Structure 1
Amino acid sequence: MDRVVIVGASAGGLAAAETLRGQGYCGTITLVGDETHLPYDRPPLSKQILSGEWDTDRLPLRARGDIEALGLDLRLGRTAIGVNVQDRSVTLADGEMVGYNALVVATGVRPRRLPGGDGVRGVHVIRTLDNAVALREQLRTARRIVVVGAGFIGAEAASVARGLGLSVTMLEPAPVPLAHAVGEDVGRALTQAHRGHGVDLRTGVMVREILSRDGEVTGVALADGTVEPADIVVVGIGSHPNTEWLEGSGLPLDNGLVCDAFSEAAPGVYGVGDVARWYNPLFGTLMRIEHRTNAAEQGMAVARNLVCEGTRERRPFAPVPYFWSDQYDMRIQAYGHLRGHDEVVVVEGDLAARRFIAAYRQGEHLVGALAVGMPPRAVRSWRGAIAARREWTVIPARSPAGTAPAA
Structure 2
Amino acid sequence: MSTPADVLVVGAGAAGLTVVESLRRKGYRGRITLLGEEPGAPYDRPPLSKQVLAGTWEAERTHLRTRDVLDALEAELVLGERAVALDAATRTVRTTSGTELRAEAVVLATGLNARRMPSLSGAEGVHVLRTLDDAAHLRRELRAAERLVVVGDGVLGAEIAATARLMGTDVTLVGPQTAPMRAQLGHDVAQLLAALHTRNGVQLRPGTLVAGLESDDGRVTGVRPADGDAIPADLVVAAVGSTPATDWLAGSGLLLEDGVVCDSRCRAADGIYATGDVARFHHEGLDRPLRLENRTNATEQSMLVAANILGEDRPYSPVPYFWTDQLGVKIQVYGLPTPTATVHIVEGALEQGRFVAQYADGEDGPVAVLGWNMPKQARQHRHHLIDRYTRAPRPEAVTPR
Return the TM-score normalized by structure 2.
0.92
Report what 1:86 is aligned to: 89
Aligned length: 386
SS at 1:382 equivalent: helix
Question: How many percent of aligned residue pairs carry the same amino acid?
Answer: 46
SS at 1:388 equivalent: helix
* Distance in 1 of aligned mates of 2:85 and 2:97: 11
The question of 1:200 aligning with 2:199 is answered no
* Distance in 1 of aligned mates of 2:29 and 2:340: 44
- The equivalences for 1:226-305 within 5 A come to 226-305=229-308
Answer whether contact 2:153 2:179 (CA < 8 A) is retained: no
Go from structure 1 to structure 2 and tell me whether the alpha carbon gap of 1:120 and 1:75 turns closer, same or farther (over 3 Å shift): farther
Deviation, 1:116, is 4.7
- The equivalences for 1:42-81 within 5 A come to 42-81=45-84
Structure 1 range deviating more: 130-139 or 276-285: 276-285
1:231-251 residue CA offsets vs partner (Å, 9 max, x unmatched)? 110111111111111111121
* Distance in 1 of aligned mates of 2:147 and 2:234: 5
Report what 1:349 is aligned to: 348
Answer whether contact 1:345 1:358 (CA < 8 A) is retained: yes
Report what 1:397 is aligned to: none
Answer whether contact 2:158 2:181 (CA < 8 A) is retained: no
Answer whether contact 1:4 1:102 (CA < 8 A) is retained: yes
Deviation, 1:271, is 0.9
The question of 1:178 aligning with 2:181 is answered yes
Q: CA RMSD in A?
A: 1.8
Choose which of 147, 153, 156 in structure 2 pairs with 1:144: 147
Residue type at the aligned position of 2:274: G
* Distance in 1 of aligned mates of 2:91 and 2:153: 42
Return the TM-score normalized by structure 1.
0.91
SS at 1:180 equivalent: helix
Report what 1:98 is aligned to: 101
* Distance in 2 of aligned mates of 1:293 and 1:270: 18
* Distance in 2 of aligned mates of 1:110 and 1:49: 19
The question of 1:361 aligning with 2:364 is answered no
Deviation, 1:226, is 2.2
Structure 1 range deviating more: 53-62 or 332-341: 332-341
Deviation, 1:331, is 0.6
Point out where structure 2 has 5 or more consecutive residues left out of the alignment. 390-401
* Distance in 2 of aligned mates of 1:271 and 1:30: 15
Point out where structure 1 has 5 or more consecutive residues left out of the alignment. 391-407
Answer whether contact 2:158 2:180 (CA < 8 A) is retained: no
* Distance in 2 of aligned mates of 1:351 and 1:124: 35
SS at 1:360 equivalent: strand
The question of 1:220 aligning with 2:223 is answered yes
Answer whether contact 2:120 2:238 (CA < 8 A) is retained: no
* Distance in 1 of aligned mates of 2:167 and 2:180: 23
SS at 1:211 equivalent: strand
* Distance in 1 of aligned mates of 2:58 and 2:123: 26
